[in-house]
Amino acid sequence: MQRSISIFGATGSVGSSTLDLIARSPDEFTVAALTAHSDVVALARIAIAHNARLAVIGDESRYAELKAALSGSGVEAAAGPDALLGAADLDADWTMASIVGCAGLAPTLAAIRHGRTVALANKESLVSAGALMMDAVTASGATLLPVDSEHNAIFQCLASGRIEDVARIILTASGGPFRTATIEEMRAVTPAQAVKHPNWSMGAKISVDSATMMNKGLELIEAYHLFPVGLDRLEIIVHPQSVIHSMVEYRDRSTLAQLGSPDMRVPIAHALAWPQRMASPCEPLNLAKIGRLDFEAPDPVRFPALALARAAIEAGGARPAILNAANEVAVAAFLEGRIGFLEIATIVEEILTRYSPAPPTSIDEIGAVDREAREHAISLLKVARID
């Protein structure tokens, strides 16, 4: 029986990888809905190619353009935030939630509340709204499948055991391009250097997050919500080869690890076929060629983002959402050449100190926290005369 698939954020890297896998198994999947923020040309092209029922463009001003591009194709066109929620209402068996940023919160929550299978690639869903999302999963009976390589690895390692028997969950980190750099060298880092990840091909923002290790801090917050073992049982270890994606140690001291090539289609294929397996076009793992696997503890002095993220989890409430929003503003300023690399964490820490709203209890309140944290960060940049 064919399974129907919806992809929120279909023109991004995760969405494109998902469509690549679907296209290789056309007898197993049908496409219900595809969405994009503003890329009408790409959205129309893939919607027609995959015979989607519905294509939604987030930018309402592009509706006429999308409708024209889909004319005669049989694909329905829609636009705007309400249309995104409408796409979540379709009876898709499996939904990929990969809209970037807080714009993905409402559609992801809507899909979860329908009690279906949701593959989660939207980081903000758990970083900014973790408690809200997990409460909705519990209430609806939805199945939440992590797509991020580290969390998907943990999910796979937990398949043969019970969460009650877990002694430690260990997230691996590549260490980024500055793993061995000194503080002085990091102070002089340029945006061009920061976006050159040694292992993964990623966008500029997430590449910088990897370089500061903020990305691993955000993943720690996600893991805290996905795998309820307590913060004291969540650890990070630097593994520069990015072959082991994460590990789970059980109380009998057996440690299970998930290994694979650094290709996002590996975890996406696992989530797409779960609870079965499917073939993927990814390179097989060649351990003899790799030759060695190295590990080291992360340096909290050179990478303060890790401590900021852990403190945000401990504080709870709005703190993780503030951390995420302030970091996005700081990273954007760095990429534009307005601040130095080491100032990213400094700005995030300062905003966490200055801004302390009440804990948000709804998507709207989380959105307000996100906007206000960004405004505080932008104001700080202007006061510091680095805007």
Strand residue runs (E) in 98-243: 117-120, 143-146, 166-173, 234-238
**Distance between CA 368 and CA 366 in Å, rounded?**
5
Vertex 306 angle, CA 302 and 312, to 5°: 140
Whether the predicted pLDDT of 158 surpasses 80: yes
Instruction: Give residue 141's pLDDT.
Output: 97
**Distance between CA 194 and CA 212 in Å, rounded?**
9
Residue given tokens 């064919």 in the structure block: 2
Mean pLDDT of the chain: 95
Whether residue 375 is contained in a domain is answered as: yes
Give 56's contacts (C-beta < 8 A, 6+ positions apart).
33, 34, 35, 36, 77, 78, 79, 83, 84, 86, 87
Are both 293 and 174 inside the same structural domain? yes
Arithmetic mean of pLDDT, 350-369 = 95
* Pick from 57, 30, 32: nearest CA to 43: 57
Are both 121 and 211 inside the same structural domain? no
Arithmetic mean of pLDDT, 212-230 = 97
Torsion of CA 214, 122, 236, 269, to 10 degrees: -140
Are both 211 and 322 inside the same structural domain? no
Instruction: State the total domains in the chain.
Output: 3
Q: What is the DSSP letter of 241?
A: T
Are both 172 and 216 inside the same structural domain? yes
For residue 300, cis peptide bond before it (omega within 30 degrees of 0): no
Instruction: Give residue 201's pLDDT.
Output: 65
Whether residue 156 is contained in a domain is answered as: no
Instruction: Give residue 102's pLDDT.
Output: 85
Whether residue 134 is contained in a domain is answered as: yes
Give the end-to-end CA distance of the chain in Å, rounded to a whole number: 56
CATH number at residue 322: 1.10.1740.10
Are both 134 and 58 inside the same structural domain? yes
Q: Binning pLDDT at 50, 70 and 90, where does residue 387 land?
A: very low
Instruction: Give residue 344's pLDDT.
Output: 97
- The per-residue pLDDT for range 6-32, each reduced to its tens digit, is 999 999 999 999 999 999 999 999 999
Whether residue 152 is contained in a domain is answered as: no
Torsion of CA 158, 164, 165, 167, to 10 degrees: 90
Q: Residue 348 belongs to what domain range?
A: 316-387
**Range from 74-88, 192-206, 305-319 carrying the lowest mean pLDDT:** 192-206
Are both 320 and 231 inside the same structural domain? no
pTM: 0.94
Are both 59 and 91 inside the same structural domain? yes
Are both 183 and 239 inside the same structural domain? yes
